[in-house]
Structure 1
Amino acid sequence: MNDTTNIKRQFLNSLKRGTGEAYLLLKSNPNIDFSNHIIKGVLNIYAYDGQCESDRAKYIFDIISISKQKDKIRKAVLQGLATEQNDTWNLTHLFAIAKLYAQQNDTEVKQAIYDRFLNNPIEGSDWVGAYEILELDGLNGLFYVAEKFGKHIEQNPDDWQDDWIIKRFQEENKKIKVSEQLKKKAKTNKFIHIYLDNIKRTKTSQENHRTKPTKYKDIIDEVLNSKPFISFIRKRNLTDEEINQVAKRLIDETDKSNIERLLDVFDFYKFPYGSQIILNFAKQKRTSKNRIVENAIDALKHLKSKEIRNFALDKIQNTKNPIDYFEILVSNYKSGDIKLLSAIAKKTNDKHKIEQLAGIYSEIYKANKTKECTEPLEILYNKMNCAIHRKGIVEILIENKVLSDKIKREIKFDCDLQTRKLTK
């Protein structure tokens, strides 16, 4: 395999992960044609989670800007924007890239954005492209979006729309009385009128079907009977008194379904009455009928003891799914664990497990500041395609003063714009 093939492979690997290495490779190898790989990055958002992560448009556009094959890539953008029908996040990615062309006065690409919006939309994704039009043309863009939705609703009377697009535009344009402007426009534009009427009917329907919040007797009643399961934990902070009440009930509880729910609270809060109780639950035999063992293992990350650490190390070294037990090391990490963490990181190649490790290792090294974080975190940095967790890893490396020169150069061109700011 020649050097050019190796460099291209390295480039595509970086492009998929979203690291700045791709930009640097292109810049230092101007005579190599990377265009086919760049086009892959245009047509596909390789993010681990295209919905949660920020778009990679600026990242790809920066790479395009130093390519010698700009015309070829631009044609691919237009073609992809017109034809993408399978993946919502690929389409949002294409709209975002196209917007950057339009902002550089590329009128053909701008027209392509308008032409594609609500034209044969992906099911459930009729909103895609609206925000780009609003960014490009402000209130006139909103009028266009509203009119297009009105025409779509006239052809599809069972369709429904809410007002999130209007609200978002209003939040970003506080000097404009957006509702007043739309109502005024609706007097002479029947399609905008149809759109606004549809939003009004949607709001009425939502109000009529909104369920009243359930009232509970106390925290125990809420934990055992809340729906969806335990979601209230994420919505508010429990008091020390409430945590103690849940813990006392867990000690006395015999119903396995209730134990499962009570234990889940201690994924978020430290169990206040000794670690052995939780460890005993974690040592039970796993069963598909409940999540007692899983929830107990989650709770152990807040607790520290020699026995808990030995339990974790034994499971990590002797089970098929060692990753399930790594979180226990958040409170039970010791110098030298770098060998174990690095070994598992090296062996892990499944993208979901890499993502899981990135989250856990980040928690471990946030709680245990040490220069030993370097090797395991760099291994994950070079494997993962989640920009959110990669930013967290870079922050930990910086905090521990072990950020390598290589990564420091790369983050200036990372796909995540917040990661780029870490160079400061």
Structure 2
Amino acid sequence: MLIQMYKMTIKEKFKNSIRRGTGEAHLIMRANPKIDFSNYIIKAALNNFSYDNQSEGSRAVYIFELIELSNRKEKIREAVLRRLANERTDSWALDQLFGITALLAKNGDLQARKAIYKRFYKKRIKYSEWLGEDAIIAVDGIEGLKFIAEIKGKMIQRYPEERDDGFIVDFFQDNNPDINVYDELEKSAINRTYIKTYLNTILKYKNLRPGGKRQKYNYEIVSERINSNVMIPLPPADVKDLSESDIKKLASDFLNETDRLRQEKYMRIFDRIQYPYDYQSILEIAKGKYSNKDRLIEFSIKALRFFKSKDIRDFALEKISRAKYLDIYINLLIGNYKNGDSKLLHEIVQRTKNEHKIDDLAFSYVGIYTANKTKDCKVPLAALYDKLTCGIHRKDIVNILIENKVLPTKIMREIEHDSYEATRVLWLENN
């Protein structure tokens, strides 16, 4: 990978960095103020390149900072405003465009401020009517929230079946505890009928929301779900509900189960919590032929990661050496890692090209090096960092490198300007 990087031109390095969202793009621009990177910035502004848009969110701050460093600000600005007005299919791209435009507006750009209001609730993307709310509030605070309330109230009057849970109001309140938001809306509702309609609607909706406590899972409920058409018998967050007795009963039932689909459901549980008996029955299943159409083997392998044994390690290394879906088997090293395995893990990163495969490797490597504290993590994790698009996994990798005191100086310099806010926080905490 290092050889490949040295062959790259400055522009190619910049293109690689801005697509992944690393701070290297920022450092390259500062070191090369006369080079025009505007086309790459425009492409990254108009497309949210994060691996998981919903989880990672907008890269607006990251892109805006690059715009500020550019010698072609006006060209980029015009491209952003033009696409803001016309984007009709990509919700996460539009969300990012709103975010960038809000930063332009807060920087004194009056045309950008007008562009946000003009686009809000116009040419809407289905199921993404919320787009633009954050931008309006970022620019105009409580007055922006009142504008949103008015637009939504007008829509409700036109379509009385429309419902709204008031999330944006509660979110604003949480972030502005010094303002009594509902009081402010009530004052405005006296003379503004649309705000009154909106306020009445969200208050009515809140009163209609079902109350009561959440269902607590136990052996009987989980068993019933295993024998039903439900594919996920126990939500991951609710594993903690199960008692030791519940877990043992479910494990015993698994030993007597012969149906593959129900066996898979049991393994979905023991993917989250350690199987309480000997692992041999699970290992025998895991040794079967893997198919992405039958997930029993996948979840059996995940269940084995809690166990440490020579036969599991030998099975893992044998599969990793030749399996098509090697990322599944790499998880077995979480409980069976040995110093020196870093060489194998590094080689795997080096030969992996596909973006989705890289993300799968990141998930596994983070699991391995979270469970196994070692300076050996440096080479494979640094290699992953250089290929990874996912900001969330990049943060996890950087954090592990810091904890093991092996974070390369180059990466430490870059994370101050990373596209993912939580990674920037790591820089603040360590400088």
* Same topology, TM > 0.5: yes
Aligned: 1:163 with 2:161: no
Contact 2:218 2:243 in 1 (8 A): no
| Structure 1 residue 229 displacement after superposition | 1.8
Contact 2:217 2:234 in 1 (8 A): no
Equivalent position of 2:111 in the other structure: 108
| Structure 1 residue 263 displacement after superposition | 1.8
Q: Which amino acid aligns with 1:47?
A: S
Among residues 41, 63, 68, which one is paired with 1:60 in the alignment? Answer: 63
Q: Distance in 1 between matches of 2:33 and 2:8?
A: 15
Q: Name the CA shift for 1:323/1:26 in 2 (closer, same or farther; >3 Å).
A: same
Q: Distance in 2 between matches of 1:364 and 1:283?
A: 21
Contact 1:275 1:304 in 2 (8 A): no
| Structure 1 residue 169 displacement after superposition | 1.3
Q: Which amino acid aligns with 1:331?
A: G
Q: Distance in 1 between matches of 2:52 and 2:392?
A: 9
Equivalent position of 1:84 in the other structure: 87
Equivalent position of 1:405 in the other structure: 409
Equivalent position of 1:337 in the other structure: 341
Q: Distance in 1 between matches of 2:231 and 2:141?
A: 39
User: Where in structure 2 are there 5+ consecutive unaligned residues?
Assistant: 1-5
| Structure 1 residue 151 displacement after superposition | 2.4
After TM superposition, the structure 1 stretch with the greater mean CA deviation from structure 2, 384-393 or 339-348, is 339-348
Equivalent position of 1:274 in the other structure: 278
Mapping 1:310-325, distance limit 5 Å:
310-325=314-329
Contact 1:223 1:262 in 2 (8 A): no
Q: Distance in 2 between matches of 1:228 and 1:322?
A: 25
- Name the TM-score, length of structure 1 as normaliser: 0.91
Aligned: 1:99 with 2:106: no
Contact 2:116 2:132 in 1 (8 A): yes
Mapping 1:146-295, distance limit 5 Å:
146-199=149-202, 207=210, 218=220, 220-221=222-223, 224-225=226-227, 227=230, 229-237=232-240, 238-286=242-290, 290-295=294-299
Contact 2:239 2:272 in 1 (8 A): no
Aligned: 1:416 with 2:389: no
Equivalent position of 1:308 in the other structure: 312
Q: Distance in 1 between matches of 2:98 and 2:217?
A: 45
Aligned: 1:69 with 2:72: yes
Q: Distance in 2 between matches of 1:173 and 1:113?
A: 22
Q: Distance in 2 between matches of 1:279 and 1:174?
A: 54
Q: Distance in 2 between matches of 1:361 and 1:177?
A: 46
Equivalent position of 1:359 in the other structure: 363
Among residues 19, 43, 46, which one is paired with 2:46 in the alignment? Answer: 43
- State the superposition RMSD in angstroms: 2.6
Query: How many residues are matched?
Result: 421
Mapping 1:388-399, distance limit 5 Å:
388-399=392-403
Q: Distance in 1 between matches of 2:237 and 2:217?
A: 18
Q: Distance in 1 between matches of 2:7 and 2:298?
A: 48
| Structure 1 residue 267 displacement after superposition | 0.4
After TM superposition, the structure 1 stretch with the greater mean CA deviation from structure 2, 273-282 or 11-20, is 273-282
Secondary structure of the residue that 1:360 maps to in structure 2? helix
Q: Which amino acid aligns with 1:224?
A: I
Contact 1:219 1:242 in 2 (8 A): no
| Structure 1 residue 199 displacement after superposition | 3.5
Q: Distance in 1 between matches of 2:410 and 2:73?
A: 27
Aligned: 1:120 with 2:128: no
Q: Name the CA shift for 1:396/1:350 in 2 (closer, same or farther; >3 Å).
A: same
- Write out per-residue CA displacement over residues 161-186 of structure 1, whole angstroms, 9 at most, x where no aligned residue: 32111111121222333223323322
- Name the TM-score, length of structure 2 as normaliser: 0.90
After TM superposition, the structure 1 stretch with the greater mean CA deviation from structure 2, 340-349 or 89-98, is 340-349
Q: Name the CA shift for 1:401/1:258 in 2 (closer, same or farther; >3 Å).
A: same
Contact 2:188 2:195 in 1 (8 A): yes
Q: Which amino acid aligns with 1:218?
A: E
Q: Which amino acid aligns with 1:8?
A: K
Contact 1:14 1:20 in 2 (8 A): yes
Equivalent position of 1:135 in the other structure: 138
Contact 2:223 2:250 in 1 (8 A): no
User: Where in structure 1 are there 5+ consecutive unaligned residues?
Assistant: none
Q: Which amino acid aligns with 1:259?
A: Q
